[in-house]
Chain A
Amino acid sequence: MKILEAENVTYTYGAGTPFETKALDNVSLSIEKGEFVGIIGHTGSGKSTLIQHFNALLEPQKGRILFNGNDINKSKDTQRDVRFKVGLCFQYPEYQLFEDTVYKDISFGPKNMGKNNDEIDRMVRSAARYAGVKDELLNKSPFDLSGGEKRRVAIAGVMAMEPEVLIMDEPAAGLDPRGKRNIFSLISNYRKKTGSTVIIVSHSMEDVAAYAERVVVIDHGKVAMDGDVDSVFSQADKLLSLGLNIPQMTYIVSGLIKKGYKLNPAVYTIEKAEEVLFSYFKEKGEKKC
């Protein structure tokens, strides 16, 4: 079932000024319920503009955005409503914290939804658990936390609205490798437990390859590639020509293929590379015998 759809969406920044730039050019894309989608594209490709359309922060100049088949920009009420159903977590979300305690900050979303106190309490506590915010932090000031903790509090603030679709823009930007793994494992854990749809915007190919099921590549405001992880990452040359990196292992394997080794090109982790190479040499060895 389609949960989010973009129909021929076009958006231009600063129309009519010398700074005019077309950020989205007739983009059509649909997201299935429960999918884990990675959106990749280099800086300025239009990926951030696209996700801001998904929760009606930006209105398409042409085209429509549908949530469960309904146009989200029908009225002010539908626009506000969709923000609770499509939770958007921006890049460096820790710079949006403002309350004097972590608990109050996480409850900002549920409060805006008009929930009663018991509901709010339940939502805050479950979001804090999903985001890995420990109970003893809830009564602290968010400004006293470490960078990684702040990031998780901000993510909990979005998860607390219990959105059907969770969109995260570069959730691991600026974190060390351990923090990065942490964030990604809590996101995939959150998805497993709640069954919600997750969209991740990133330019780290390794992360997208490791966690997403489907990859959408945006380039110059258009959908350049769309498919499951294997089919997209197997086209290494195309990704490179779009100015994107590919996972290191994919790069090595595609180099080997060019040298004449007949390998499966859909490799993006060390484990998979090991598997592919071992089976290749095994096969070769058997033939020799």
Chain B
Amino acid sequence: MLRDATIGQFFPGDSYIHKMDPRAKLVFSFGAIIAIFVCKTFESLAVVTLAAILCVFVSKIPFKTIFKGLKAVIFVIIITAVIQLFYVKTGETLVEFWKIKITTGGLSNSIFICVRIIVLILYSSLLTYTTSPTSLTDGMERLFSPLKIIHVPVGTLAMMMTIALRFIPTLNDEIGKIMNAQKARGADLGNGSVINRAKALIPIFVPLFVNSFRRAYELAFAMECRCYHGGEGRTRLKIMTLSWRDYISFTVLAVLYAGIIILNHFFTHVI
């Protein structure tokens, strides 16, 4: 269930990637994710995949945890693969029965897309695994700060994100507690017809919402007591600076793009 999903969790550490500037990490992972979609051949995709695996090694996050994160989206991957397999009808026919026809084009397409999704998740989860939510939102705030010129409340948005991320584990805990309390009173969760199942959610969601509003009030009070008045003019405890690590990551990204473009040019396109 929810508890087993590791996507979005933060694993503290002191690897090369952990020490990078959050802005550089954001730029690198977004760059790499775009790179996945620039790939048109298996060769270039292999390069991006290898780079992702290398990054995981450098981050010292065990592969086991990463695979656990993948488990949560396995359905999405399987469904996409199956759809690709049946709907792309280019190349030679491999199998044909009744209305279903599987072709080489469909097969290579579905493998290609599977790998794409997996690598995409690798890059994005690597970002959240190695960056604490606060430094992640800090990094975003700084990256988007030019938008302040057109009156986008970047600081407020970043604070909202920090608060949202902060409360995910709290609410997760609370759902568990409320579910147990209602089960102890004989609530039957996840059994019966769709309507019964939907009804069974009421005893869980009503207390959850009531408690969330209570928490929101308390937090708002606490923030006002500390004179929070929006992001305007706030200074920072930790000032972000780009270091050699970040410049190396930019270089790696540039080399990655160059490799992809060259490989795309010389090999046969899959998509």
Binding site for B on A (CB under 8 A): 52, 55, 57, 80, 83-84, 87-90, 93, 95-99, 108-109, 112-113, 143, 157-158, 161
Q: Which residues of A contact B181 (CB under 8 A)?
A: 90, 93, 95-96
Cβ-neighbour of A95 out of B185, B202, B211 (below 8 A): B211
- The reply to whether B207 and A158 form a contact with Cβ atoms under 8 Å apart is no
Q: What's the least CB distance linking A55 to chain B, in Å?
A: 6
Give 24 A-B contacts (CB < 8 Å), ordered by A residue: A52-B180, A55-B184, A57-B180, A80-B188, A83-B184, A83-B185, A83-B186, A84-B186, A90-B180, A90-B181, A95-B174, A96-B181, A96-B182, A98-B202, A98-B203, A98-B206, A108-B182, A108-B203, A109-B185, A109-B186, A112-B185, A112-B188, A113-B186, A161-B185
Contact assessment for B185 and A108 in the assembled complex, using a CB-CB cutoff below 8 Å: yes
Residue B166 interfacial (CB < 8 Å): no
Provide the main secondary structure of the chain A interface. Answer: helix
A97 touches B186 (CB 8 A): no
**Chain B residues within 8 Å of chain A by Cβ, number:** 19
Residues of A within 8 Å of B202, CB to CB, are 98
The distance in angstroms between the C-alpha atoms of A96 and B187, with both chains bound, is 12
Per the 8 Å Cβ criterion, residues 181-198 of B in contact with A are: 181-188
Contact B211 A158 (CB under 8 A): no
Nearest B residue to A79 via CB reads: B183
Rounded to whole Å, the gap between the CB of A152 and the closest CB of chain B is 16
Contact A158 B186 (CB under 8 A): no
Instruction: Check B177 for interface membership: any CB of A closer than 8 A.
Output: yes
CA distance A97 to B203 in the complex (A): 8
Q: Does B1 contact A (CB under 8 A)?
A: no
Q: Is the Cβ of A97 less than 8 Å from the Cβ of B183?
A: no
Complex-state Cα separation, A95 to B184, whole angstroms: 14
- CA–CA, A109 and B186, complex, Å: 6
Contact A88 B188 (CB under 8 A): no
Which of chain B's residues have a CB closer than 8 A to the CB of A98? 202-204, 206-207, 210
B55 at interface, CB cutoff 8 A: no
- How close is A85's CB to chain B, nearest CB, in angstroms? 11
Given contacts A95-B178, A143-B210, contact A88 B203 (CB under 8 A): no
User: In the assembled complex, which residues on chain A have CB atoms less than 8 Å from the CB atom of B184?
Assistant: 55, 57, 83, 87-90, 158
| Residues in chain A near residue B203, CB distance under 8 A | 96, 98, 108
Inter-chain CA distance A81–B242, complex, in Å, is 62
Name the interface residues of B152-182: CB closer than 8 Å to any CB of A.
174, 177-178, 180-182
Task: Tell me the complex Cα distance, A113–B186, Å.
Answer: 7
